[in-house]
Amino acid sequence: MLALVTPAALAASLACLVACGGPQQARPARSARSARPASPTTGAIAGLASDHDSGDPIAKAEIRVRSEATAAQIVTASSDRGRYGVDRLPPGRYSVFAAFAGQPLDVVNVDVRAGEVTHVDLVFTLGRPERILIDLGARAAQ
């Protein structure tokens, strides 16, 4: 048998759903242990791509972040304001490879720690296509 719903009954049902906040899903109970925030397990690398001579930000520089431990790579590009960032990186040592206008720039021995952002600015010398190599491990040894 086919049941007909009257406009008044439909309006009453919709009003009830709106008042009650719509369908609800059961949420798991929070124990005292889960109430504490979890310790961060990942870190990030972020910075600014810019021109050495003018200081102007460089948009659309190609940036690759590679894990020394796994050789896994993440590819990104700098924003219109020259900013870039790669998050959710497991702690460890990384290399940052960047290129813009035919100039390669490599930053090696970048340490990432859980809960921290490691700042790595990429400063290009536009018009001079030679490779730039920056070893952050050498700085730590000094």
Predicted local confidence at residue 129, as pLDDT: 80
Percent of the chain clearing pLDDT 90 (strictly above): 64
> Per-domain residue ranges for the chain?
43-141
Predicted local confidence at residue 37, as pLDDT: 72
pLDDT tens digits for range 2-22: 344 444 543 444 444 344 444
CB 83 within 8 A of CB 48: yes
Q: Which architecture, in CATH terms, is 43-141?
A: Sandwich (2.60)
- The number of beta carbons lying within 10 Å of the beta carbon of residue 105 is 20
Mean pLDDT of 73-80: 98
Amino acid in the structure at residue 74:
I
What confidence tier does 73 reach under pLDDT thresholds 50, 70, 90? very high
Between vectors from CA 105 to CA 103 and to CA 109, what angle results, nearest 5°?
Answer: 170
